[in-house]
Amino acid sequence: MDSNRRRSRAAITVAAVGALVTGVVVSLAATANAATTLGASAAEKGRYFGTAVAAYKLSDSTYSTILNREFNMVTPENEMKWDATEPSQNSFSYGSADQIVARAQQQGMRVRGHALAWHSQQPGWVNNLSGTALRNAMLNHVTQVATYYKGKIYAWDVVNEAFADGSSGARRDSNLQRTGNDWIEAAFRAARAADPGAKLCYNDYNTDGQNAKSNAVYAMVQDFKSRGVPIDCVGFQSHFNPQSPVPSDYQANLQRFANLGVDVQITELDIEGSGTAQANNFRTVTQACLNVSRCTGITVWGIRDSDSWRASGTPLLFDGNGNKKAAYDAVLQALNGGNPTSPSPSNPSSPSPSNPSSPSPSNPNPGTGGCSATVSINQWQGGFVATIRVTAGSSATSSWSVRLTLPSGATITNAWNANRSASSGAVTLTNVSYNGTIAAGQYTEFGFQSTGTAGTLTPTCAAA
């Protein structure tokens, strides 16, 4: 059965209490002061900022301090791969991945799952299989792992790196490809059936500009959309160095995929180099994502240069000692809309989605304050994601809380950009450190994933 049909989307908007809603339409969240961390700043733009994480580094305090402070999405670097999660057939091992998921949940971060089906990092036993036996083993793997993590994953890289490099536009030859050309859609259908709440992505490298490989992926996504194969997003790994620089049509390429009706995400960003040149490249990539409304977030492939799979190329945002590099400043500045510390990027013609100078609503009645909350629900059989927008009233907030009552049978499994008082029944969700301040008339968003059926959630908002 087509799992798409089970995935009904209902947008329910409930205006809530307590606030004098100004009637001034603002298009974006903004706070009085520019955000000071990558995750907070991205959140103000309705996006996430993530990093790859290695479980064995979580006990390193420099590493963890930066992780907890800067990022609101994590991707296990190796811990969810086939060799890690199913070391022998039908025997699953989730210890390392669970450490990362648990840490993320403690911190209110979301998780990108990486990767369910890939030709690389397969366990040895897979080498002995082919044909139907391999196809079934792959589908069982997808089903088991996606089911185990059901409700905890924002997006899965369902299939990774399935196309050949170069000009052929062909699929990559691999044991999985040799089970039949439909292996990719079979994997996506299995993933949707197992975890209908996760966004399902195709992820690849050397697809960052328009070329034969990205054209082939584009054609596949177009075909999937036309036939109802469940796909929600395309990941662009974005591993760059002098031999493989940021393509000049990077943004245009993201946009053409977005125009197919999928989200796009920058999934493994690293750019070899140093100093201003490296910083400018990071700025370009960040701005490209901001300029594409369906670019939902950016993940860098590690925290410090020394954490990188290409450590000698110093391709990340923090040096080996955990200090912020020029590249970090460039990314944060771009996320903050060119504010506040250095000259704005020399890109005056491209529309910036941020609008820091837009007039704030007139404030005829300072002190009436308050806030309002609206919710939109993505419901599927057995679970839902709620996205809640908190809009400040006629004066700025310094903190806010949203109360709502979940129907029986609904339990929150995961929340982001908010702290929660409970996981079922009457729940109070309060701001985290970086999103308590909302300028008058502006908004911020948070969300949670839950089991059960949302029904009509009625949030009420209170602000200080």
294, 265 Cβ separation under 8 angstroms: no
Task: Provide the minimum distance between the beta carbon of 309 and ligand G2I in the complex, in angstroms, as a whole number.
Answer: 4
Size of the chain in residues: 464
Write each residue from 126 to 165 as x if it is in contact with ligand G2I (CB under 6 A), else as -, in one continuous string: ----------------------------------x-----
Task: Provide the minimum distance between the beta carbon of 277 and ligand G2I in the complex, in angstroms, as a whole number.
Answer: 22
Task: Provide the minimum distance between the beta carbon of 120 and ligand G2I in the complex, in angstroms, as a whole number.
Answer: 5
Cα gap 196→431, rounded to integer Å? 28
Q: Cα–Cα–Cα angle for 74, 78, 80, nearest 5°?
A: 75
Report residue 235 as tokens.
């990941």
Cα gap 30→12, rounded to integer Å? 24
Task: Provide the minimum distance between the beta carbon of 268 and ligand G2I in the complex, in angstroms, as a whole number.
Answer: 5
Report residue 374 as tokens.
């609206």
Widest Cα–Cα separation across the chain: 73
Q: Which is nearer to ligand G2I, 186 or 269 (CB)?
A: 269
Residue carrying the six token digits 């082919």: 130
447, β-bridge pairs? 387, 416
Is residue 94 within the footprint of ligand G2I (CB under 6 A)? Answer: no
For 318-357, the three-class secondary structure string (H helix, E strand, C coil) is: ECCCCCECHHHHHHHHHHCCCCCCCCCCCCCCCCCCCCCC
Task: Provide the minimum distance between the beta carbon of 273 and ligand G2I in the complex, in angstroms, as a whole number.
Answer: 17
Is residue 241 within the footprint of ligand G2I (CB under 6 A)? Answer: no
Q: Which is nearer to ligand G2I, 100 or 412 (CB)?
A: 100
- Exactly one of 44, 70, 77, 161 is catalytic; name it: 161
Write each residue from 20 to 59 as x if it is in contact with ligand G2I (CB under 6 A), else as -, in one continuous string: ----------------------------------------
Task: Provide the minimum distance between the beta carbon of 125 and ligand G2I in the complex, in angstroms, as a whole number.
Answer: 18
Cα gap 219→212, rounded to integer Å? 11
390, β-bridge pairs? 373, 444
Cα gap 119→169, rounded to integer Å? 18
Cα gap 137→19, rounded to integer Å? 55
Residue 217: partners with Cβ closer than 8 Å, 6 or more residues away = 163, 202, 204, 207, 234
Concerning whether 161 is annotated as a catalytic residue, the answer is: yes
Work out which of 208, 268, 272, 305 binds ligand G2I, going by CB under 6 A. 268
Task: Please work out the total of residues on this chain that contact ligand G2I, with binding judged by CB under 6 A.
Answer: 9
Cα gap 202→433, rounded to integer Å? 33
Contacting ligand G2I within 283-342 (CB under 6 A): 309
24, 273 Cβ separation under 8 angstroms: no
Q: CA dist 37 to 31, 32, 48, 284, 439, Å?
A: 13, 15, 11, 18, 18
Contacting ligand G2I within 201-240 (CB under 6 A): 205, 237
Contacting ligand G2I within 99-128 (CB under 6 A): 120-121
Task: Provide the minimum distance between the beta carbon of 162 and ligand G2I in the complex, in angstroms, as a whole number.
Answer: 12
Is residue 77 within the footprint of ligand G2I (CB under 6 A)? Answer: yes
Q: Which is nearer to ligand G2I, 267 or 278 (CB)?
A: 267
Q: Which helix (H) or strand (E) holds 378?
A: strand 371-380
Q: Which is nearer to ligand G2I, 40 or 285 (CB)?
A: 285
Write each residue from 372 to 411 as x if it is in contact with ligand G2I (CB under 6 A), else as -, in one continuous string: ----------------------------------------
Work out which of 78, 291, 306, 458 binds ligand G2I, going by CB under 6 A. 78
Concerning whether 268 is annotated as a catalytic residue, the answer is: yes
Task: Provide the minimum distance between the beta carbon of 311 and ligand G2I in the complex, in angstroms, as a whole number.
Answer: 11
- Exactly one of 44, 79, 268, 272 is catalytic; name it: 268
Is residue 460 within the footprint of ligand G2I (CB under 6 A)? Answer: no
Q: In the bound complex, which residue of the shown chain has the CB atom lying closest to ligand G2I?
A: 309
Q: Which is nearer to ligand G2I, 160 or 179 (CB)?
A: 160
Residue 116: partners with Cβ closer than 8 Å, 6 or more residues away = 82, 141, 142, 145, 146, 156, 157, 158, 159, 187, 191
Please report, as ranges, the residues that interact with ligand G2I according to CB under 6 A: 77-78, 120-121, 160, 205, 237, 268, 309
Residues assigned a catalytic role: 161, 268
